[in-house]
A and B are shown apart, each in its own frame.
Chain A
Amino acid sequence: MSQPSSAAQVADEVRRIISPADLEAYRRELLTKNDPNAPKVIVCCGTGCQASGSLDVIDAMKKAVAEAGWEGKVVPRVKRTGCHGFCSRGPLVVIEPMDLFYQQVSVDDVEEIVKTTLIGGEPIKRLLYKPPDSKEPVQRVAEIPFYSKQSRIVLKNIGKIDPFNIEDALTHGAYQALAKCLSSMGPRQVIDEVMNSKLRGRGGAGFPTGLKWDSCARVEGTRYVICNADEGDPGAFMDRSLLEGDPHSVLEGMAISAFAVGSNRGYIYCRAEYPLAVRTLTAAIKQAEAMGLLGDNIMGTDFSFKLTVSTGAGAFVCGESSALMSSLEGKVGRPRPKYIRSVEKGFRDSPSNLNNVETFANIPDIIFKGADWFKSYGTERSAGTKVFALTGNVHNVGLVEVPMGSSLREIVYGIGGGIPNKRELKAVQTGGPSGGCIPIPAKFLDINVGFGKLAEVGSMMGSGGMIVMDEDTCMVEVSRYFINFLVEESCGQCSPCREGLTRMLEILTRITQGEGREGDIQLLQEIGTFTNSFSLCGLGTSAANPVLSTIRWFPEEYEAHIREKKCPSGVCKKLFHYEIQAETCTGCGLCRRKCPVQAISGEKKKAHSIDQSLCIKCMECYKNCKFKAIKVL
């Protein structure tokens, strides 16, 4: 793996910032040194693109650029960045200032990019992105609907700055908001600004951030500021992208919070499964401390703030605030049975302000540009934007940031590019394992995504996971899947959560295996309602949401499983079989060739048929038939 170039930069002579005004002076100095319009080759090195080989691409690119003959032209800078969000198209390369977007770039393409594009100034057609519904490729980033339909304010620097290079972050405005606090605002004013912005926590519960800071500031004691970077929802990677792509925005948000509540000690609780995030954070803290932007006497003032990264042991429940604090103290990560808020008695029984990564990342701009600017995004009740990790049966899988209150239609079709393979949309799941499945068709496609609206239909905002499900998704199986996840992730200490989940899993398993009984739906509702109201922590009190919401919106699917012993979506293997419709089958023979167990037979151009005794229900024929001749029965 290539090492971040900045390790050397820390060792170099470090410029210490001696006052808030000095930061601005230095930023101007950097801007004249690094012309923002100079040619650049930006290679995404987020975790997704790294997995598809971007580190090799960047190494090859550096080498090729160094070896090419530039004949008086400005030599472009090759730069690594965090995740651009469009992971399904990685490795991604952006060429500036042309704003050219190349996708699925491999080492073999590098030479051609240097020759044709960087030297010759011509785009390479085959590396351009083609939206699913058009034949013509798109050249510029700004023209790609996936990007152009987003409002990137939290993610604004991601994909633009080198996360291992603090100078790059400074040219993009890092620490300006902290300088503003230190030079012209008091703690009270900062809290008021955050309160006024109506920012609500992005970690799931949506608690007003300003109010939390205010309560924390009012409690006497050694105060702590803690960042929740545990992000345990399966499929979610909003926080990881922020930490890996723009760590200074999170660090600056935490420093501002510390200034506001009166703390000089902070921790980032980051899950151990995010090694790149831990490395970026550690490097960023080191660089910021060396420059006097964190640590003792920040920017020459008497405000000090020391930050440490602590890694979690990878339990979903450790994201719960009291379990997180126990774990941070070195104890078992189990939620605490105390009716006391952590702003009063949290980490080490001291007043502690815990916020989510994305919440902190929103802070610098709220302070720098003001609460009114922030409120110009989103709705009356849910201000600002939200980052979602869009996954599932949708064309464009990746990170999307939209104003609060955007419709699901806009997210799934506008940005996500719709459902692949000509399938119909069935449901969208938000809120992680404890969210609900919002059933889409006609009914809720135009629902505005915000804290209140999602709760109304039985789901929740959660931290921003969004799974799109098409018509081939069985809702009973979806609910079984999530309950199975929680059965393992519950801490197990309190009986409603532990026993309720055990029983719900048992009932759902038997329903999906064709052994459902009359009365099972009512029993699931009884247990679910009980678990959601008698459990100790937030995991238990939302654990039954997937069950309750799928029963609420898809009762007919449960009934089909229980009464007719049928899985209408063709997922639960014991409850369906495939049949080839003789009227529609053209006898093309594709299914016969695809079937791994030779269960399909038929003559050319004549209707084929499936031998049910051989079929293993692997879906190959169903997925591949171009004429939709195979039916689930």
Chain B
Amino acid sequence: MIQDNAASVIGGAMIKMGKHRESSYSGLAAPAALGALRDAGITKDEVGAVFCGHAFGGMLTGQRIVKELGIGDVPVTNVDNACSGGATAVHLAVRAIEDGHCDIALVIGVDKLTQFGGGTLPLVQEDPEVQNGIVMPAVYAMRARRFLHERDATVEDLAAVSVKARRHGAANPYAQFQSEVTVEQVLDSRPIADPLTLMQCCPTGDGAAAVVLMSERERKRRGAQGMRAAASVLHSGQFEAGFRDMLRPEISYHSARDAYEAAGFGPEDLDVVELHDAFTIAELVYYEALGLCEPGESVGLLRDGRTAYGGDVVVNPSGGLLSKGHPVGASGVAQVVEALWHLTDRAGARQVENAQRALTHVTGGGIAGLDHGACTIHLFERTA
């Protein structure tokens, strides 16, 4: 029995991810927001609250976007949570509906990284690790180095993550990269932070995505279809001054544990996973954190094709961040849109057949003493 105040995603849209230097934040996000409303079959006047995730949009980004649609006089909340900003906005919308604050919420995720002219994500200079020269690729590169040291794994295994991602992305018209690559091409691309090469890092990009969430009572009344948020979990990292096992990021483990407990189903029930593959190593580490396999088994899972089409669960059918790029605040919402398309049989050439349940996962932010600053996990189930 689904509660009247349960939240479901009933509409979504995104723009093509890529380098859109000519677009403003509104220019990126307004088409996605309007697309989500139309997809949900609602009008602008029915939106009861807006949540906008972004990291670099500046003050009142959400208001700048929704005024273009004539949405006003409702609470608009802007959220920064680095790579989890968009998914945090989804989380807040789920909570707002569950807590009875509104029946229909619009969520927007947007960011424009080309404004920084390329290179690594700008980090906050107040952090001591940043002062010592840390960049995001280096965080993951050090994780990769330790992974190669502790596991029976090679750089070819890392490259295989990019090969799978780009193969999936080749079928996704919304991806920035729509071409396949080989292990050799990945390893021969220029070094970024050893052992990670350029093609093992998500490209700089701009993007926006939007979803409409609705209470169960309202959804039933309208007969709208979509996917129910069976779990919506947000965690922050725990500071640790000493040893930390970089192959077991506690923030993702804890978030996944709580999400499965809330949903009442587990990793073995998933058909689609969109996880945070900002760098190749991340996917291997997160297979284990999300319970898709036992700790130590992630390389075998990938090698055996169990996370690709025809396997146990399709991980990153969109091509992931490695194909789409990672416009920080947009990514978490874009994952939810991808999940919605699969759970409503609208994913086109990349449709995961008969997909019933999906997981989306974003985590990130580089802070000294933390795995990551934030992690958001959502579990979705096709509405009956």
Chains A and B belong together in one complex:
no
Spell out A's residues near B (CB within 8 Å).
none
Q: Which residues of B contact A (CB under 8 A)?
A: none
